[in-house]
Structure 1
Amino acid sequence: MELRQLHHFVAAARMEHFTRAARKLNVAQSALSASIRALEDELSAQLFVRTTRKVRLTASGQAFLSKAEKVLFSVEEARDAVRAVEQGQAGRLTIGSVQSLPAFLQLPTVLAKFHGLYSQVEISLVQASALNLLDKLERGELDLAFLPAFDARRGIETRLVACEELVLVCSRQANFFSGDAVDLQQLTAVPFVDFENDLGTRTLIDRAFADALVDRRVIFEVSDLGTLLNLVEQKLGVALVPQSVARSRQDTLKSYVVSDVDLCWEIVVASRGQMSRTASIAQFLDLLPMDGLG
């Protein structure tokens, strides 16, 4: 049984005339008649009573008509659903993000804007470490992921969305340093507050100290930015944070430029290759400015 046969049958049933039905469907009457005969043979039932002037449904035809129309309606619904997804008007978009994104990256603002434009697209957001996000992205569990820049992975594309210099902060009541700049060697003797491994800026900072062959002492490891800043404000250690974060706490924290190393926290949005890119993914990416969010 083919959809073409159902279309032929419904048209003939509603118009009660094979010739007019064929004309409406733009097919030859002989083709329509043959299609309906094949349908009757498959069902082992006569669907029409045929006369020279018109046709009318048999009892079996009446029963089959309602089912055939439901099938055609469901098929059209399915086509509409696929069309909406292909055009980015419906579907699902799953986004991942590292925890404790800094203030300069306003992801919720972009999510709200996207929802306002494409309200029928279901958006979900998950937070995890950068490594977990990449694994989920590769397995197809995420469409997009916001995370610090990373070494290239096959099949994963990235786009820079934000970059900000890291500065050292400490409590205004602390007396760790003088002046307004420090170098990495000065930081070997001070206690650090930092994120847990693979969270936030931890990997970037660890790599900078390792490349400079300088040791540091991390005494507090946390999973969120608020706790990190609160510990620093209590004079329990120093931390390296984006400039915008330091500015947001300038009443309680002093900041210092790190003079001997370029510490820029680059945030990228990662996605699988073009073959996996849906219209919704493309539309979301179009909302992102090239140099940051907000």
Structure 2
Amino acid sequence: MNFRQLEYFTTAARLKSISKAAQELHVAQPPVSRQIALLEDELGVCLFLRTNKGIELTEAGQSLYVQSKHIFQSMHTMIDSVRDIDQGLRGCLKLGSIYSTISFTLDFLKKYHAEYPNVEYYIRMGTPGDLLNDLSNGDLHVIFLRGTTSEISGSWERILGEETLEVILTESLDPAPGLDYIPIERLRDVPMCLLRSDDLWSYNNYLINECQRNGFSPNVVCQCYDTPMALQMVQSGFGISFLPPALVNIIGSHELYSKPIRGITAKSYPTMMWNSSVMYSGCVKRFIDMFGQ
């Protein structure tokens, strides 16, 4: 087994195609197929299943793919660390953020970039589940979420703040226009656009349970896949939502505002998370040292 074989294998596994792997690697297709075949012969296992849609990893192939990614990540980390010594801090910092924590991400990046201008950035915005999966796989170095989780073995996190969840609404659907808060009983029959019921942080379930505890079931007209969609539905007049109030500033709409619900103190915790079991390059370590304490 050699690095070329692993490179050919991991590229084909990622692209799910030997021909596409050959194009990306700038080599002919037969050498890629041959090196993968030699790798299978040496290991005594089948790494790919050939289908009409391309290739799929076998169980053995999936195991090798995960371990090969860690090998290449470690090699890139080693290269970046050596270059850091001679050229100053360099490398690529890969960050992920949900929509409601993007302001924290950008604030940290501004401070970091001022000290280390040679570092490049890869930034991805996604759902909590997707970002946690990418962090676990090593595709992201640091992610910004809301709430704490034990989804990843060996993960570390820093809670960045605390917010009380509030109703996000427009004037046309405000059930208590003369008050700075909303009595929960006034939410009866008000249309709601909430996050889907399997939302990782359970905003939806919390509000529904509180309404039921006060003698009524809320009028949920829409369950939204993510926060941006919930905000768009509120802004379009479909209903109100139950989210961190900081989102009103992020979306920058003059039509939206927030109000607390009297007697409800559900909290949301912006959180920075990283995987302590991964050997990070110097630029990633420095970012965690700066903001993870």
- TM-score by shorter chain over 0.5: yes
The answer to whether residue 287 in structure 2 is matched with residue 284 in structure 1 is yes
Q: CA deviation at 1:142?
A: 1.2
The answer to whether residue 144 in structure 2 is matched with residue 142 in structure 1 is no
Distance in 1 (CA, whole Å) between partners of 2:89 and 2:80 is: 9
What one-letter code is carried by the residue in structure 2 that aligns with 1:192? M
What one-letter code is carried by the residue in structure 1 that aligns with 2:162? C
In structure 2, stretches of 5+ residues that fail to align are 1-76
Kindly report which structure 2 residues correspond to 1:56-205, keeping only aligned pairs within 5 A, or say none: 81-85=80-84, 89-98=89-98, 100-101=99-100, 105-153=103-151, 154-174=153-173, 176-177=175-176, 179-196=179-196, 203-205=201-203
Secondary structure at 1:258 match in 2: coil
Distance in 1 (CA, whole Å) between partners of 2:282 and 2:173 is: 52
**2:266 corresponds to:** 263
Distance in 1 (CA, whole Å) between partners of 2:191 and 2:181 is: 17
Q: Provide Cα deviations, 1:5-50, integer angstroms capped at 9, x if missing partner.
A: xxxxxxxxxxxxxxxxxxxxxxxxxxxxxxxxxxxxxxxxxxxxxx
What one-letter code is carried by the residue in structure 1 that aligns with 2:167? L
Say whether the 8 Å CA contact 1:138–1:272 is kept in structure 2: yes
Q: Provide Cα deviations, 1:118-167, integer angstroms capped at 9, x if missing partner.
A: 23322211122111111111111111111111332321111112322222
147-156 or 106-115, larger mean C-alpha shift = 106-115
2:244 to 242, 245, 248: 242
Q: CA deviation at 1:184?
A: 4.3
Which one has the largest radius of gyration? 1
Secondary structure at 1:218 match in 2: strand
Distance in 2 (CA, whole Å) between partners of 1:86 and 1:204 is: 46
Distance in 2 (CA, whole Å) between partners of 1:129 and 1:240 is: 17
When the two structures are superposed, what TM-score results if normalisation uses the length of structure 2?
0.57
What one-letter code is carried by the residue in structure 1 that aligns with 2:143? A
Distance in 2 (CA, whole Å) between partners of 1:265 and 1:192 is: 19
Q: CA deviation at 1:113?
A: 3.3
What one-letter code is carried by the residue in structure 2 that aligns with 1:243? P
Identity across aligned pairs (percent)?
18
Kindly report which structure 2 residues correspond to 1:189-228, keeping only aligned pairs within 5 A, or say none: 189-196=189-196, 203-209=201-207, 211-212=209-210, 214=212, 215-222=217-224, 228=230
May I ask how many residue pairs the two structures share in their alignment?
209
Say whether the 8 Å CA contact 1:166–1:263 is kept in structure 2: yes
Please provide the CA RMSD for this pair: 3.6
Secondary structure at 1:203 match in 2: coil
Q: Provide Cα deviations, 1:203-247, integer angstroms capped at 9, x if missing partner.
A: 341231355473433324456766644543454311223334446
Secondary structure at 2:100 match in 1: coil
**2:27 corresponds to:** none
Q: CA deviation at 1:172?
A: 1.8
When the two structures are superposed, what TM-score results if normalisation uses the length of structure 1?
0.57
Say whether the 8 Å CA contact 2:80–2:281 is kept in structure 1: no
What one-letter code is carried by the residue in structure 2 that aligns with 1:157? W
Say whether the 8 Å CA contact 2:81–2:282 is kept in structure 1: no
Secondary structure at 1:159 match in 2: strand
Larger relative strand fraction: 1
Distance in 2 (CA, whole Å) between partners of 1:276 and 1:80 is: 13
Q: 1:80 to 1:136 in 2, by over 3 A?
A: closer
Distance in 1 (CA, whole Å) between partners of 2:78 and 2:254 is: 58
Q: Provide Cα deviations, 1:49-70, integer angstroms capped at 9, x if missing partner.
A: xxxxxxxxxxxxxxxxxxxxxx
In structure 1, stretches of 5+ residues that fail to align are 1-77
